[in-house]
Homo-oligomer: A and B are copies of this chain.
Amino acid sequence: MSPINLKSPITVAHGDGIGPEIMAASLRVLEAAGAQLEIETVEIGEAVYLQGHSSGITAETWDSLRRTRVFYKAPISTPQGGGFKSLNVTVRKTLGLYANVRPCVAYAPFVETRHPKMDLVIIRENEEDLYAGIEHRQTDEVFQCLKLVSRPGCERIVRYAFEYARANGRRKVTCLTKDNIMKLTDGLFHKVFDEIGQDYPELEKHHAIIDIGAARLADTPEDFDVIVTLNLYGDILSDIAAQVAGSVGLAGSANIGDQVSMFEAIHGSAPDLAGQDKANPSGVLLAGVMMLNHLGQSPVAERIHNAWLATLEDGIHTADVYKAGRSKALVGTKAFAEAVIARL
């Protein structure tokens, strides 16, 4: 009998721009913490696009993903110009990653924020809406993009949000749509929210129009708990929430599907920062923590999360969150990872 392999197979992509640095830093932490991972490394993004794959991804990578079912992905760049599809969207849609889970938490007083009490999770529908990718030229002068919303799509994400709230001891779920204008599409999302909400009598349920909802999120994010919304609104709201919590550099996310899941930072590849050992690896590291929980390696996940918190609390900060007076040491990507490892 061959020995049982306790390691979880995962597919890792190091990405573009700051991707390779922050992914390397993060993997060092995961390894040092004792995460049991069997890594298949794949190449995606810029180089792959330029090899002629318009989606930025190859058949081998798809094979790996179907095998490991877990994708740990650094940010990537899409080359300028037409003809290149967004890799993030291709992966999310091809693998049916319908739920994009984005926690945004303030780490006051260690990271400066105007909203020290903020602790919310955005559950973003991840396959439909304007991201369906149906866009065309009607005439030389008129272009169209189709916004698609289906009942099964709404039901799945809304159900996911309520289940998430219940499982994580959250008390309130807020649905944001623009159904005063888009009465059919956004109207359906709102209607499904009201229907499915009835199965969760213990949870507070709210709906607001996206414009005033976004304004409240920007101004009083501490009033929100779980937010469930359509794809594009979720994209915009999660950057707002992460930023007012302290920095978009601190937020990780999980893209959940029935078969495969993907874990990534919510920020981009920041090419201007690349290769300087300056970027904050926290977003991809916290995505890694979400991945370890998903893989059933929760004790390791918790150890990393605590060490990471201790690092922030000790005032060891990368440039994006460094604040003279409040912070103690300004460190680079590698040194930040070492500091986390020292606190494991």
User: Which residues from chain A sit less than 8 Å from chain B, CB to CB?
Assistant: 78, 82, 86, 89, 114, 130-131, 135-137, 140-152, 178, 180-185, 187-188, 210-212, 214-219, 232, 235-236, 238-240, 242-244, 248, 268
Given known contacts A141-B152, A142-B150, is B244 in contact with A218 (CB within 8 Å)?
yes
A238 contacts across to B, CB distance below 8 A? 211
Number of copies: 2
Contact with A147, one of B86, B147, B215 (Cβ below 8 angstroms): B147
Given known contacts A86-B180, A178-B232, is B243 in contact with A143 (CB within 8 Å)?
no
A selection of 17 A-B contacts at a CB cut-off of 8 Å is A140-B151, A142-B148, A143-B150, A143-B185, A144-B146, A144-B148, A145-B147, A145-B182, A145-B184, A146-B146, A211-B235, A211-B239, A212-B239, A214-B239, A215-B239, A216-B243, A218-B243
What is the minimal beta-carbon distance from A215 to any residue of chain B, in angstroms? 4
Per the bound structure, the CA–CA distance linking A211 and B244 in Å amounts to 13
Contact with A131, one of B89, B181, B244 (Cβ below 8 angstroms): B181
The answer to whether B181 touches A86, judged by C-beta atoms less than 8 angstroms apart, is yes
A212 contacts across to B, CB distance below 8 A? 239, 248, 268
What is the minimal beta-carbon distance from A207 to any residue of chain B, in angstroms? 12
A82 contacts across to B, CB distance below 8 A? 183, 187
What is the minimal beta-carbon distance from A27 to any residue of chain B, in angstroms? 26
Per the bound structure, the CA–CA distance linking A219 and B180 in Å amounts to 27
Given known contacts A143-B188, A235-B211, is B218 in contact with A130 (CB within 8 Å)?
no
The answer to whether A236 touches B214, judged by C-beta atoms less than 8 angstroms apart, is yes
A147 contacts across to B, CB distance below 8 A? 130, 144-147
Per the bound structure, the CA–CA distance linking A31 and B124 in Å amounts to 49
A221 (CB) vs chain B CBs: closest residue? B218
Can you list the 8 inter-chain pairs with the closest CB atoms, starting with the nearest?
Answer: A218-B218, A215-B243, A215-B239, A211-B239, A145-B147, A141-B151, A143-B184, A145-B185
